[in-house]
Amino acid sequence: MNEQGSCRLRADTKSWKFTGERAGAAPRTMDPIRAGTLLLLLLSSVRLSLQTTEVMLLDFEKMKGESGWLTNPFGKGWDLLPDWRNGSAIFMYTVCNVQEGEQDNWLRTSWIYRSEAQRIFIELHFTVRDCNSFSGVSGACKETFNLYYMESESDVGINFQKRLFRKIDTIAPDEITLQEDIDSRNLKLNVEVRSVGKLTKKGFYLAFQDIGACVALLSVRIYYKKCPGVVQGLAWFPETVAGADSQSLAKVAGKCVENSVPIGGDDPSMHCNTDGEWLVLIGGCVCEAGYEKVDNKCQACKPGFFKADASNNPCQPCPDHTEPSSEGATSCPCQNGYYRANVDPISSPCTSSPSAPRDLTVVGSGSKVMLHWLPPSNDGGREDLIYVVTCEQCLPDQGECQPCDSSLRYSESPLHLRATSLTVSDLEPHLNYTFTVEARNGVSSTKSGRSYTTLRVSLNQTEPPRVTSVNLEESSKNSLRLSWTVSPRQQNRILRYEVAYNKKNDEKSYTVQRCEGNSVTLSKLSPGTTYTIRVQAQTPEAAGTYSMEYEYETLPEEPEGANQTAIIAGAATGVVIIVMVIIFVILLHRSRRNGRSRQSPEDVYFSKSEQLKPLKTYVDPHTYEDPNKAVLKFTTEISPNVVTRQKVIGAGEFGEVYKGILKKSGKEIPVAIKTLKAGYTEKQRIDFLSEASIMGQFCHHNIIRLEGVVSKCKKISH
């Protein structure tokens, strides 16, 4: 430090120079190296954040030298250097007392109001010069500096107490400005970000501790993060402050945008992480009926369009045979004469009832006729066309008609026909039949009119009536009592009935029995035998056709004394089972009593023995009077010639930690080198050796392996 207060570091003609005056002094022109450094700084400050909102608490660049930061000791160490660029002042804090031995220089910010932040982020832009680029410096030269913070409820002014500050981290550069970088005027700018949380007081201070490095602090940005207000899944999520814990996720409930509803009825939610990013959308919203999704909002359907359900599907144009809809329609009304069935979706076209079937014809033979027709010329625009056939019968000499008897037989159900033909059997003679064939579809019930065609059929044949059903009234082991039915209108024409029957397995012979009534008892039958039975009606003119075959079985003949034998067998079986249960209970009781008498408490205690695993004994190195002996016993001495330091990666309790290379068995192994700082105390030396002795005793894949210790005085090469 010269008498005028300027800070200059001079080594030789190729040295790196920070040239400038203290705050309040006349500004001076910045040299090209610093100008290039600041240009790189400005480019690095351009940030794009699509997911995160950063709320700035402090920006050193925008202070334009009016920071009001406190240095300790005052007048030594950190210095504020101004310069000019494009007519604007640019400031930086520098320190470079590498030739003055041990250093403890502090730079404290002004009091910073925390606002709503729970975790703050500190972004530093800085350069560090390589200690080897200085000639004649002591071992106190460092390439790192420390970052601290202190919380307080109010501004404490110039009352600066180091002990109240808590360390955040040791800041080590990724790239060090080497001598060749200085020669080529290529400064290595480093950007490091650290975070602190959870903050609880109204404000805080940051402090930078120099312990003997050559550092230029170009930019300090302090901010906290928010998850920005965003519409996701048609739900609005408000701006949310990121949490303090890096492992926690803040659950935030969303609100559906206008004209939308939550999926499943539950409000959507998202999680805001500590980096201010939205994660894990749960649920979501969909547009209401009559609205469609446009970007991140729900917009009403245009006239002539509709949407029937709550979804994110687009609005659809009104289907055929509907009236034009208004804006925001959920459906389109049908035109006059067109309808929708109850099962039709609201998005389907409107349809009409079919026209009548065409060209109904009939072909008859005896008591059977077959109806045939053509499909209607207009099916109404539907695919669910069916036909319904109904029948009425009328006496020739009477004008009254009534529905046909249930004795008529149809080739398939006449109430739900898909085919265009139907066969009707068992028609009675001397009756007039009227058949109606109606065409229907899904909307026929909504229309009052019917679409049908009719045809009249007259039967004048004299064929005797046919027995329609034969029923079993009573059965025994030697007889069957039967009855049957015929059309009531033809019973007066029947002279008698003929019943033909035979054993089911005997088709070569059968027996015929005649009777005048519509019932008969077949006797002298074999017990437990199935008989095939047919009945024929006979008139004075002729005999009718036999009915269909029916099968009935006589009761089996029970052997004498069978019931008594079953009772005796059941009783004997029950007695045997009871005796077996009693014997089993007695044996089980004795077995449990003998088991308890033989088992002692020791048997229970040692019944589940486990084999003890061998244990390894670890020795506390503090039991050795001389810690050097513990190091020799538990570690391996490594020659300093096979170890090379590369760069600082951090700082430990005893000194700095380097990344380096260990040459072993012709191979180069990357290692971390932990050093004992210069000016150590005797206690620090003993603790350092004890830590090495402890680590040397471990050999496990989950524990860092100690390769060895360099205890010689020769300096490890860079």
Please enumerate, by residue number, every residue annotated as part of a binding site for ATP: 674
- Give the containing element (helix H, strand E) for 185: none
Burial level of 460, CB count in 10 A (0-12/13-18/19+)? exposed
Contacts of 192 (CB under 8 A, 6+ apart): 123, 124, 126, 171, 173, 174
Q: Residue 150: how many CB atoms within 10 A of its CB?
A: 20
Tell whether the torsion through CA atoms of 653, 654, 658 and 663 is positive or negative. Answer: negative
Backbone angles phi, psi at 623, to 5 degrees: -75, -15
Structural element, H or E, at residue 269: strand 269-272
Name the maximum alpha-carbon separation found in the chain: 155
3-state secondary structure 96-137: ECCCCCCCCEEEECCCEECCCCCEEEEEEEEEEECHHHCCCC
**Helix or strand or coil: residue 416?**
coil
Residue 544 to residue 536: CA distance in whole angstroms: 6
Name the burial class of residue 85, with classes exposed (0-12), middle (13-18) and buried (19+) by CB atoms within 10 angstroms of its CB.
middle
Cα separation of 226 and 273, whole Å?
A: 9
Long-range contacts, stretch 517-521, CB < 8 angstroms, 24+ apart:
518/483, 518/484, 518/485, 518/486, 519/473, 519/481, 519/482, 519/483, 519/484, 520/481, 520/482, 521/479, 521/480, 521/481, 521/482
* CA 523 to mean position of chain CA atoms: 78
Backbone angles phi, psi at 593, to 5 degrees: -65, -40
Coil, strand or helix at 697? coil
If you write DSSP's letter for every residue of 508-545 in order, what string do you get? S--EEEEESSSEEEE-SPPTT-EEEEEEEEE-SS-B-P
**Could you please report the per-residue DSSP string of 304-361?**
TEE--SSSSPPPEE--TTBPPP-TTBS--PBPTT-B--TTS-TTSPPB------EEEE
C-alpha 499/C-alpha 546 separation (Å) is 9
Is residue 285 within 8 Å of 257, Cβ to Cβ? yes
Which H or E element spans position 694?
Answer: helix 682-696
Question: What token pair was written down for 651?
Answer: 């700082």
Alpha-carbon gap, residue 372 to 571, rounded angstroms:
70
Among residues 205, 213, 195, 197, the alpha carbon closest in space to that of 142 is found at: 213
d(CA 564, CA 568): 6
Residue 194 and residue 201: Cα distance in Å, rounded? 19
User: CA 202, CA 417: separation in Å to the nearest integer?
Assistant: 85
DSSP-derived 3-state class of residue 622: helix
153 Cβ contact list (under 8 Å, min separation 6): 201, 202, 203
Q: Is 36 helix (H, G, I), strand (E, B) or coil?
A: helix
- In three-state secondary structure terms, 374 is strand
CA 83 to chain centre: 57
